[in-house]
Amino acid sequence: MTTAKTAIVTGATSGIGEAISRSLIAKGYNVMMAARRADRLESLAQELGPNADFAVTDITKRSDVISLADQAKEKFGQIDAFINNAGIMPLSFFKSRKVEEWDRMIDVNLKGTLYGIDAVLPDMLDRQDGHIINVASIAGLQTAPGFGVYSATKFGVRALSESLRQEVAAQNVRVTLISPGTVQTELFGTITDNEILELIQAGLPYEPMKPQTIADAVLYALSQPGSACVGEIVVRPTGQGTMS
């Protein structure tokens, strides 16, 4: 057990979550990484050293998320920050009727985020200390055709984050919402709707951000004095005027 602060990062196997995990280790945190791909978690944990550990976790399973929190406490003592980052984005038009993908987005992006909050909030309230950071999207601020269900989950994450912030403010628990614009990650690989894929293949009229830009936003929120709660951060590529 160490005296360093401990963070749990979901979705640590790629993109934004991997960048957050690397940055937190570099800042001296203990990091418990969570995702489903065991091989990636294992090699990242080996690379990051003794302050990193992992728990193979499917955030759609409440029991997995509770085990994740238990494992972090057992290994590192207490959980100071929970970064609810894992998410999927199988964009589709409603007419394509990809109902299983709608269900999955609700399960991962919305219910998974709730399970993370549930797993760590009681201890944070008892200790009167802790920080929950939820990664939403600019799709939680505006929407467009093809973004409907993804946007609904991210509008939902924004709403629950603000409600949670108001509820726990007096108990000294901080809640931060991070809303990124487009970031270069594996997220677009979850799309199966051919019409959306054709639009994406036409290329973006701007340069997407690097995952590190969002990791830096997380570090900013975490590094403020305990008396300051960064409520929301929105970061877009400079050239991204609208959603698409």
Ligand X SMILES: NC(=O)c1ccc[n+]([C@@H]2O[C@H](COP(=O)([O-])OP(=O)(O)OC[C@H]3O[C@@H](n4cnc5c(N)ncnc54)[C@H](OP(=O)(O)O)[C@@H]3O)[C@@H](O)[C@H]2O)c1
- The residue among 132 and 135 lying less far from ligand X, judged by its C-beta, is 135
Q: Catalytic pick from 29, 115, 150, 220? A: 150
d(C-alpha 66, C-alpha 115), whole Å:
8
* Closest to ligand X by CB, 1 or 239: 239
Candidate list 23, 85, 151, 176; residue touching ligand X; CB under 6 A: 85
Tokens in use for 80?
A: 């100071």
Q: N- to C-terminal Cα distance for the chain? A: 46
Task: Name residue 82's beta-bridge partners.
Answer: 8, 132
Query: What's the rounded Cα separation, in Å, for the pair 8 and 20?
Result: 10
Is 115 catalytic? The answer is: no
Which of positions 10-49 make contact with ligand X (CB under 6 A)?
Answer: 10-17, 35-37
- Interface with ligand X in residues 145-204 (CB under 6 A): 180, 182-183, 185-187
Could you give the CA distance from residue 56 to residue 37 in angstroms, rounded to a whole number? Answer: 7
Q: Which residue has the tokens 């939820």?
A: 134
d(Cα 102, Cα 96) in Å, to the nearest integer? 11
| 120, 28, 208, 237: CA torsion to nearest 10 | 80
Smallest gap from residue 60 Cβ to ligand X (A): 5
Q: Report 89-148 residues binding ligand X (CB under 6 A).
A: 89, 108, 135, 137
Pick from 21, 30, 57, 92: which binds ligand X (CB under 6 A)?
A: 57
CB of 170 to ligand X, least distance (A): 28
List active site positions.
150
Please give the residue ranges that form the binding site for ligand X (CB under 6 A). 10-17, 35-37, 57-60, 85-89, 108, 135, 137, 180, 182-183, 185-187
